[in-house]
Structure 1
Amino acid sequence: MPHHWMRHAACACIVLLALATLPATAKDAPEKSTLTMAVGGLPGLYYLPVLAAQQLGYFKDEGLDVTLEDFAGGSKALEAVVGGSADVGAGAYEHTLFMQAKGQRYRAFVLMGRAPQIVVAVTKGKAGSIKSLADFKGAKVGVSAPGSSTDLVLTVALRKAGVQRSDISAIGVGSGATVLSAVSNGQIDALSNVDPMMTKLQRAGEIKVLVDTRTVKGTQEVFGGTMPAATLYASEAFIQKNPRTTQALANAIVRADRWLQTVSDADLVKMVPKAYLLNDQALYVEAFHNVRDAYSPDGLMPSDGPATALRALSSFDTRLDAGKIDLNATYTNDFARKADAQAK
């Protein structure tokens, strides 16, 4: 065989080898395989599907290398996405409504939570004087970050009891161990926050629970419908430019959503990083069981979800004109539906 033929044959072999190592078909590969996701408090059970997708290698299986950037609350994570330091956000669906009201198009493309998982409670020391939400006037209330979902749930619940947001002082206390110190050093009278912290405080007898949206039933009592919670969202421009990347993210999250429906306590504890277990595996498992009902089983936005969220938000923020919001532009079920069909 002439020398140059051998060279061509060798080249062809190298090309074939390279193709063999690519995902099944190159055309299905994500447009952007390396990306950053901003998360509004990764240790919280609210974001467990993201944590599971990362720890169990589901993102990797989809050809993605995802860096999770953790923030004190959802509003801070949103700033990172809007500012461009993160490609995608993991946060509450309502961020997409707020952004549309500001003239910016963001869309939720896979659901992680169908209930906010947020608990409003009063500290043990104040339980005598603050017996119900109607007694919150003048109270110092700890939220993960002002403007985040913990603040929203608090505001909606208070308003139903005749108390305005301006009647209280909302103090950002994060959603990790910082919550415990805010309670123990008397910095706050009440709090609106997420698990596992709320189960830990409840178990220790440090708080009295007044509102509980960890279940679908408890959420309907507060909001009068299904209140969509944690989602993955991105700008409309990102989704249009990167449909395969968006699909890959949705595939990983739907797989994680499904895993959480049937996971054993032992497998859950094995997946969660030690630092998030608060040196108390039994507590973490108890908290997980308290919120398990809140996880979406299929990644799909419930039909009454967007309207329920808009109703709640326009009562939370008077600058939001419900009549001017196009709900269909704030979410899509296309990616989750396709991911769900593949997973079956």
Structure 2
Amino acid sequence: MDKGREKLLEIKQLKKHFQIDRGSVLKAVDGITFDIYKGETFGLVGESGCGKSTAGRTIMRLYEATEGEVVFKGEDVHAKKSKKDLIKFNRSMQMIFQDPYASLNPRMTVKDIVAEGLDIHKLVNTKAERTARVNELLETVGLNSEHGNRYPHEFSGGQRQRIGIARALAVDPEFIVADEPISALDVSIQAQVVNLLGRLQKERGLTYLFIAHDLSMVKHISDRVGVMYLGNMAEIATSDDLYEDPMHPYTQALLSAIPISDPEVERSRERILIEGDLPSPINPPSGCRFRTRCPHVMDVCSEIRPEFKEHKPEHWVACHLYDEEHNKEHKARLK
């Protein structure tokens, strides 16, 4: 699958469960596996509540993993580490948060917010060097150096997100988790932020995990895309392949809901409606998690959890429709 590319991150059967009242367990992330290659953008999509943001935070070790591994450059992120090792790790991996206002301390100036990482990791020696580095970072993300003396509430949403990006860049990370970084922004600003992230990736050789629910924007920025449903990975493919030939019924339904600018095509194409509500991650369906809403559900779907397999080059899917043994039932029904 890697075709000679360097794996920067390996996520292996990662689980994150939360213990809640009365002994119940919320299975937010329940055994996902995928790789992220150096220099690429891996898009992670799915409905609200599918576990994609929890996956991102667990990869970053903001949450401790319940089971599984997150291997970054050959080292398990969740293995016990010394304080010194954690500081080094935190410099290599940074996060851009969904809400650019809530993630910025309102009592700190922009200069101090951006310089926080510089101070923690002791990357500057003098006050003048600190100021120069902050000014450089602000200009890199399209802000002026004089903005450094202002406070977050004095900026628009798009500008605040640029501050958050500058803060993440301050420590020269290799990998950035962007957790729905444009969902709280006006549509007119979203493309600007995505284009900024793309430019920074080319200039700095960054690797991104880009988490979003806007599939049209994910296609624009991602090299490969993973689709999550109820804590599981449903499908992974290159961006072009996923959008041109989606295999999982859930992915097909999500893509059919994306508006098309051509009115003639929009009127003539088939919309696939996902009926019913997302089941609770506290009590997920047996077998295939999507079976309670799938238009192609078969008997086997309630009995056996589909294996996540590579059904064509670089295109992985977890669905019994593509297992010859189980697909006979589906073909018989179509006759």
User: Normalized against structure 2, the TM-score is what?
Assistant: 0.27
If asked which structure has higher relative contact order (CA below 8 Å, sep 6+), I would say: 1
More helix by proportion, 1 or 2?
Answer: 1
